């Protein structure tokens, strides 16, 4: 999309997260050992910044969800961030999985 001119570097001002939902349990094992959280808004914003499509400090993130509790959670995250309070997320990891230092690519990928 960059090569075709559909996007230009640092041009993104707003991004939308449709249905970010809340994670509160390890989906594989079902353990609910961490508090409700959402990673989609952060992952999307990080991707935009990492690809140079926008400045993370200036991009506005908007969330749409059918559940008002999800939207309230995201609103509170934004309030805490504006107040300078960090947000911690817990990423469950299978310690028995064979992890490597370098990620392996599967399938085909294409540049934006």
What pLDDT does residue 105 have? 58
What pLDDT does residue 14 have? 95
Pair of tokens at residue 36: 């409700």
* Domain extent at residue 61: 14-82
Beta bridge partners of 62: 16
User: What is d(CA 20, CA 34) in angstroms, rounded to the nearest whole number?
Assistant: 17
In-domain check, residue 62: yes
Closest listed residue to residue 55, CA positions, set 3, 12, 8: 12
In-domain check, residue 31: yes
In-domain check, residue 45: yes
Sequence-ordered list of residues with C-beta below 8 angstroms from that of 44, at least 6 positions apart, any chain: 15, 17, 61
In-domain check, residue 23: yes
Angle value at C-alpha 92, between 74 and 65, nearest 5 degrees: 25
Beta bridge partners of 15: 61
In-domain check, residue 97: no
In-domain check, residue 65: yes
What pLDDT does residue 27 have? 62
**pTM above the 0.85 mark?**
no
What is the tally of structural domains in the chain? 1
In-domain check, residue 112: no
Torsion sign (Cα): 37, 65, 48, 1: positive
Helix (H, G, I), strand (E, B) or coil at 62: strand
In-domain check, residue 3: no
Q: pLDDT truncated to tens, each residue of the chain (112 aa)? A: 778 888 888 899 999 999 998 887 666 666 666 778 888 998 899 999 999 999 999 999 999 999 999 999 999 988 998 899 988 877 766 677 776 666 555 554 444 4
């Amino acid at each position: 999309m960059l090569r075709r001119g559909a996007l230009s570097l640092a041009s993104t001002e707003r991004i939308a997260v449709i249905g970010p939902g809340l994670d509160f349990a390890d989906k594989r094992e079902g353990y609910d050992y961490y508090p409700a959280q959402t990673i989609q808004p952060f992952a999307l914003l990080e991707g935009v910044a990492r690809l140079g499509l926008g400045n993370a400090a200036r991009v506005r993130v908007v969330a749409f969800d059918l559940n008002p509790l999800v939207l309230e959670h995201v609103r509170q995250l934004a309030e805490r961030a504006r107040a300078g309070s960090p947000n911690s997320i817990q990423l469950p990891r299978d310690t028995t999985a064979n992890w490597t230092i370098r990620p392996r690519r599967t399938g085909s990928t294409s540049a934006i």
